[in-house]
Amino acid sequence: MIIYSRNRRLRINASIRALVQQTVLTTNDLVMPIFVMEGENKQESISSMPGIFRRTLDLTVKECQELYSLGVKGVNLYMKVSENLKDNKGTESWNENGLMQNAIKAIKDAVPGMVVMPDVALDPYSIYGHDGIIANGKIDNDATNEALVKMSVSLAAAGADILAPSDMMDGRVAAIRTGLEEGGFTDVGILSYAAKYASSFYGPFRSALDSAPKENNDIPKDKKTYQMDFHNSREALDEVMKDISEGADIIMIKPGMPYLDIVAKVRETIDLPIAVYNVSGEYAMLKAAAQNGWLDNDQAIIESLTCIKRAGADMIFTYAAKEAAILLNQ
């Protein structure tokens, strides 16, 4: 029997495999989430996320310099807000001298080429741990949008390149875009968390910022009234198309690997850049398995991120960005 077509011919050695490789992961694909806290010359490890730290601003700047030298060109900023600065409206989020605003200024001053993408949401600033303002036991969508506009304009004024609203309020992209235009920040982009699911994979992140919903019988116990139901697929396309119509420049899908069907479906539908968030729970699972010797850490990092890109991502937000950059540079 003669086999005329043998796919293995193109797998026979590393050089041939490289020539026909269809998906290539580079440092240009990576965005590093960064946790910033008050103080000086301090860092705190996050037990559920080995290798990840909360850092004071001075050490955050050094980390950004190192990331940029490795080829990572984007950082996504989150603040660990002091309890005394939290309220129901998130007013600290638009303080022009707030930690987030100062972090943006410091990073842009030290690493002008770094694309700084601050998170836009109220949960780190909220006494309730929710992304929105609580009124009558519910999330007040429209009042929250007004607060998000104030926050967005403040972050744009501090020097942010791209804003990343992760709150999942209806209509917030249009509200933020209007606020930016009216404020003269026409060049500031919006990376919208369009398809953000109410996922159990966010746990380590929430412990890092103490941003989980607080135990209180008078407020929603979770974020399912605004984040998407993980049972749904078509709804993601509806969310994406609405955010594009409202002025989003980049679309985010979150989480990553458990939602690659959504990434692929959105990629087939739109031409805008797609960001995918390889979230804290995904990172924690990989690290736990590697520490137990159940898989190879380095190989699993590169494989998992390449799979996300193969599904259609243009950029990947990942806590493994620094490790991946070192591996890719090698």
CB-count burial class (<10 Å; 0-12, 13-18, 19+) for 236: buried
The whole-angstrom separation of Cα 132 and Cα 66 is 35
pLDDT in tens, 109-143: 999 999 999 999 999 999 998 999 999 989 999 99
pLDDT in tens, 73-112: 999 999 999 999 999 999 999 999 999 999 999 999 999 9
Q: Which residues are catalytic?
A: 196, 254
What are the residues facing 135 on neighbouring strands? Answer: 138
Residue-level pLDDT at 197 = 97
The whole-angstrom separation of Cα 304 and Cα 249 is 26
The mean per-residue pLDDT over the stretch 294-302 comes to: 97
pLDDT in tens, 24-33: 999 999 999 9
Residue-level pLDDT at 203 = 83
**CA end-to-end span of the chain:** 44
Residue-level pLDDT at 216 = 73
The whole-angstrom separation of Cα 140 and Cα 34 is 28
Share of the chain above pLDDT 90, in %: 92
The mean per-residue pLDDT over the stretch 210-232 comes to: 84
The mean per-residue pLDDT over the stretch 13-27 comes to: 95
Omega within 30 of 0 (cis) for the link into 165? no
DSSP three-state, residue 44 = strand
- Token look-up 């965005």 returns 31
What are the residues facing 32 on neighbouring strands? Answer: 75
14 pLDDT higher than 70: yes
Residue 329 to residues 115, 316, 326, Cα–Cα distance (Å): 20, 17, 5
Q: Are 240 and 276 in contact (CB under 8 A)?
A: no
Helices (H), 121-184: 141-158, 172-182
306 or 220, higher pLDDT:
306
